[in-house]
Homo-oligomer: A and B are copies of this chain.
Amino acid sequence: MQTFCYYMPTKVICGRDCIAEHGALLKELGRSALIVTGKSSAKNGALDDVLSALEHNGQTATVYDRVTPNPTVACVREGVALLKSAGADCIVAIGGGSPMDAAKAMATLAVQERTDDEIFAGGYEARALPMAHVPTTAGTGSEVTPYAILTNDAKQTKTSITSPAMFPRFAFLDGKYMERLPVVTTVNTALDAFSHAVEGMLSRQATPLSNALAAESLRILYPLLKKTSGPLTAEERDALLYASMLAGMTIAQSGTTAVHGMGYYLTYFYDVDHGRANGLLLGAALALCAKKGLVQLRNILSACGAELSEVCALLDGLLGRREEIPRARLEEFAARAMGNKNIKKSVYEPTEREMLEMFLSSFPASDA
Residues of A within 8 A of B (CB): 1-9, 11-16, 18, 21-22, 175, 207-209, 212-213, 216, 235, 238-239, 242, 246
Contact = CB atoms under 8 A, between A and B. Distances in A.
Contacts of A7: 11-12
A246 to B, nearest CB: 8
Nearest to A174: B3
- How many copies the complex holds: the figure is 2
A15 B11 CA distance: 26
Contact of A14 (B5, B16, B22, B212): B5
B14 A238 contact: no
Contacts of A4: 13-15
A207 B216 CA distance: 13
Given A2-B15, A208-B242, 20 more contacts: A1-B235, A1-B242, A3-B13, A3-B15, A3-B16, A3-B18, A3-B21, A4-B13, A4-B15, A5-B13, A5-B14, A5-B22, A6-B11, A6-B12, A6-B14, A8-B9, A14-B207, A212-B212, A212-B213, A212-B216
B3 A14 contact: yes
Nearest to A207: B14
B212 A1 contact: no
A240 to B, nearest CB: 10
A267 B345 CA distance: 50
A164 B281 CA distance: 42
A122 B21 CA distance: 23
A216 B207 CA distance: 13
Contacts of A216: 212, 216
Contact of A5 (B1, B3, B9, B11): B11
A5 B12 contact: yes
Contacts of A2: 15
Contact of A1 (B1, B3, B239): B239
A42 to B, nearest CB: 24
Contacts of A16: 3
A234 to B, nearest CB: 9
Nearest to A164: B11
A5 B170 CA distance: 10
A216 to B, nearest CB: 4
A53 to B, nearest CB: 15
A20 B335 CA distance: 40
Contacts of A14: 1, 3-6, 207
Nearest to A175: B1
Given A8-B8, A212-B212, A212-B216, A238 B13 contact: no
27 contacts: A1-B14, A1-B15, A1-B175, A1-B235, A1-B238, A1-B239, A1-B242, A3-B14, A3-B15, A3-B21, A4-B14, A4-B15, A5-B11, A5-B13, A5-B14, A5-B22, A6-B12, A6-B14, A7-B12, A8-B9, A9-B9, A9-B11, A14-B207, A209-B246, A212-B216, A212-B246, A216-B216
A161 to B, nearest CB: 20
A18 B8 CA distance: 19
List the 3 closest pairs (A to B, CB-CB), nearest first.
Answer: A3-B15, A9-B9, A1-B238
Nearest to A7: B11
A9 to B, nearest CB: 4
Contacts of A6: 11-12, 14
A209 B213 CA distance: 9
